[in-house]
């Protein structure tokens, strides 16, 4: 615990000096949230991810920019471990979490809260209750919105709004509406602590034109401007397969995506590395958030909190649905 105390003091000094905002990255995967919010001037003060392969990729890519996170043992594993929750720092500006998709997606047979992993949302709720972040930014598959005739989402909404006293804004966001050549519709949920609500002026960003297509991804003429959603796993497919997700016609020839193309589709930079097998890299990308939509939404969150933030819109070269607020 002494190590954690020293870490919090060091981070507070850094935040005061550089006008940073603090965020935590739960169910971190390969750090799509980390990449997006760090680029806006944020400091990741805690992250958790249990998968050993994803942890390897996360450390490989973020140690150079966030060394304290690793040196002070704030990159933790199983978030259900009470010790891993207890050490989460106080005074968090944004809690980020792309909690596990499988229980709410078609791939997971829409089991929802009937499956053990579905209860991981309640771990997020517990952390919000105990740590009182100024805001949260949650992501899940779009099927969560309609699961069990809307009852699952109603339960989540009740917990966030009525039990935890946060506002709630939600929208189904397509990555292709925010600069990336993949549809990848996801449910984004944003909330602010009730004591801040009088000063909050949040809205989801307007869509931006798609200027970065699959032809740019492949560096050749592609038969599709917007690509298929990158899958977590499963066998490959061909152009004529009705379940095709990884084959494209490029310059008249069939090509399959690799992790190189997939990371471009998801908004990761060219220098993002995967110290794992190709199969693991594609799995990790299939589990990740799309970076640019997260950046644009996070920018509006930080502006609403009136914290210094880098405005990325003038620099956005790459390039919903239902929207509501309660």
The set of catalytic residues is 101
Strand-pair partners of 324: 170
d(CA 267, CA 35) in angstroms, rounded, equals 10
**What is the maximum alpha-carbon separation in the chain?**
62
CA torsion sign, 222 to 228 to 229 to 232? negative
Dihedral angle over CA of 139, 141, 144, 147, nearest 10: -170
Helix (H, G, I), strand (E, B) or coil at 213: coil
Q: Tally Cβ neighbours within 10 Å of residue 34.
A: 26
d(CA 262, CA 91) in angstroms, rounded, equals 35
Contact status, residue 16 vs residue 79, Cβ threshold 8 Å = no
- Residue from 142, 176, 143 nearest 292 by CA: 176
3-state helix, strand, coil in the chain (%, to 5): 45, 15, 40
Three-state DSSP string of 220-242: CCECCCCECCCCCCCCCCCCCCC
Q: How, if at all, do strands 94-97 and 135-141 pair? A: parallel
Dihedral angle over CA of 102, 24, 139, 77, nearest 10: 0
């Amino acid at each position: 615990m002494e190590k954690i105390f020293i870490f919090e003091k060091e981070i507070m000094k850094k935040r005061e000096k550089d006008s940073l905002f603090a965020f935590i990255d739960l169910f971190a995967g390969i750090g799509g949230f980390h990449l997006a919010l760090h680029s806006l001037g944020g400091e990741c003060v805690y992250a958790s991810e249990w998968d050993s392969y994803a942890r390897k990729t996360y450390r490989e890519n973020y140690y150079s920019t966030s060394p304290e996170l690793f040196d002070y043992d704030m990159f933790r594993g199983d978030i259900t471990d009470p010790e891993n929750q207890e050490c989460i720092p106080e005074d968090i500006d944004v809690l980020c979490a792309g909690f596990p998709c499988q229980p709410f997606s078609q791939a997971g047979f829409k089991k929802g809260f009937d499956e053990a992993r579905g209860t991981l949302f309640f771990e997020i709720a517990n952390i919000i209750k105990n740590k009182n972040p100024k805001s949260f930014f949650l992501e899940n598959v779009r099927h969560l919105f309609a699961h069990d005739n809307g009852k699952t989402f109603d339960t989540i909404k009740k917990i966030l709004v009525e039990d935890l006293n946060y506002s709630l804004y939600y929208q189904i966001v397509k990555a292709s509406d925010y600069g990336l050549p993949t549809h990848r519709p996801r449910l984004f949920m944003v909330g602010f602590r009730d004591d801040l609500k009088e000063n909050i002026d949040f809205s989801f960003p307007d869509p931006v034109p798609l200027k970065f297509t699959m032809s740019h991804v492949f560096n050749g003429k592609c038969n599709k401007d917007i690509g298929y959603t990158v899958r977590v796993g499963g066998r490959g497919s061909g152009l004529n397969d009705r379940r095709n997700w990884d084959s494209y016609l490029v310059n008249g020839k069939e090509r399959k995506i690799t992790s190189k193309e997939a990371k471009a589709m998801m908004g990761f930079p060219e220098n993002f590395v995967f110290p794992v097998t190709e199969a693991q890299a594609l799995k990790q990308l299939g589990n990740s958030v799309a970076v640019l939509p997260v950046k644009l939404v996070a920018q509006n969150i930080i502006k609403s909190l009136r914290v210094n933030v880098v405005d990325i819109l003038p620099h956005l070269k790459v390039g919903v649905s239902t929207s509501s607020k309660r």
